[in-house]
Amino acid sequence: MLTLFTLGSCSSSKTEEKGVAVTIEPFRYFVDQLMSERVPVSVMVPMGSSPATYAPTTSQLMALSSASVYVQAGHLGFEDAWMHRLKELNPDMDVLNLSKNIQLIKGEDHQHGDHMHEGGIDPHIWMSPKIVMELLPDLKNVLIKNFPQDKKIIDANFLRLLTEVETIHNNFSTLSDQEKSNKFMIFHPALTYLARDYGLEQISIEYEGKEPSPAKLKELIDKALEEKIKIIFIQAEFDQRNAEMVREATGAQLVVINPLGYNWPATMKNIRELLSNHLK
């Protein structure tokens, strides 16, 4: 808090270019695409860090003082812990909560590996193209409000970006219709909204947010064999040992994905191709 106070007392003397701050890299991609990279975008949770437990550095807090807009998912651990403090540091900053008008998936409060999903709300809304289409208009509007001089550019870019996302959405929509199976396995359930919105079934190796017990692991292996699961997704930051055990016992392919990567279209197209090749 002393750092925040010091930064707050200094921010009024700064004349830095106004920019945008976001929690994670995929949101930087959306802002860059809408703004044609005309404004600086600060990412509060850098690549390789957990968006549930990360604490911002002093330099990040200093950069935040010049942000006109903050774009958050709404229920990531970092946001739960830090948003009220970030708002105190920059009270004039618009905060866009992308979860505000989304039908959220809720469950019981539980520990997810090294972090807690507060309120049991799954925060991975950006992993569904259907949801991204719903939230892009709000992002466009807040950017136009804060950068009115770029309205024509933002409007034009919005139509292009929406078309790109809609194409990805349409490609996912054909999965459950054309394939024989709709089930896939994943270590940490980051594709919950994707599964819901496209008629798929996500089977999580994590159990109540924790690594599975030996009994639960056997149950998962039996289910994977019964359902003929052919693909297991895992994020690079998670321990692969349990996923490897399921892979060895079932013959399924273990694939590393990066839901926090900057290039959102490439991430989604890769997941779509992998699902298409293995849901048979």
Task: Report the percent of the chain where pLDDT is more than 70.
Answer: 89
pLDDT of residue 107: 64
Q: Where are the domains of the chain?
A: 2-171, 174-278
pLDDT of residue 223: 93
pLDDT of residue 13: 37
pLDDT of residue 108: 58
pLDDT of residue 178: 60
Secondary structure of the chain as H, E, C letters = CHHHHHHHHHHCCCCCCCEEEECCHHHHHHHHHHHCCCCCEEECCCCCCCCCCCCCCHHHHHHHCCEEEEEECCCCHHHHHHHHHHHHHCCCCEEEECCCCCCCCECCCEEECCEEEHHHECCCHHHCHHHHHHHHHHHHHHHHHHCHHHHHHHHHHHHHHHHHHHHHHHHHHCHHHHCCCCEEEECCCCCHHHHHHCCCEEEECCECCECCCHHHHHHHHHHHHHHCCCEEEEECCCCCHHHHHHHHHHCCEEEEECCCCCCHHHHHHHHHHHHHHHCC
pLDDT of residue 28: 98
Q: What CATH number does the domain located at 174-278 have?
A: 3.40.50.1980
What pLDDT, in 10s, does the model give residues 223-275?
A: 999 999 999 999 877 888 889 999 999 999 999 999 999 999 999 999 999 99
What pLDDT, in 10s, does the model give residues 96-138?
A: 999 999 999 986 555 555 555 444 899 999 999 999 999 999 9
Q: What class does CATH assign to 2-171?
A: alpha beta
pLDDT of residue 231: 95
Average pLDDT estimate for 216-226: 93
What pLDDT, in 10s, does the model give residues 4-52?
A: 444 444 443 333 589 999 999 999 999 999 999 999 999 999 988 889 8
Average pLDDT estimate for 51-71: 92
Whether the domain at 2-171 and the domain at 174-278 fall into the same CATH topology: yes
pLDDT tier at 155 (50, 70, 90 boundaries)? very high
Least confident of 32-46, 161-175, 204-218: 204-218
pLDDT of residue 239: 80
Asked whether residue 94 carries a pLDDT value surpassing 50, the answer given is yes
Average pLDDT estimate for 50-62: 91
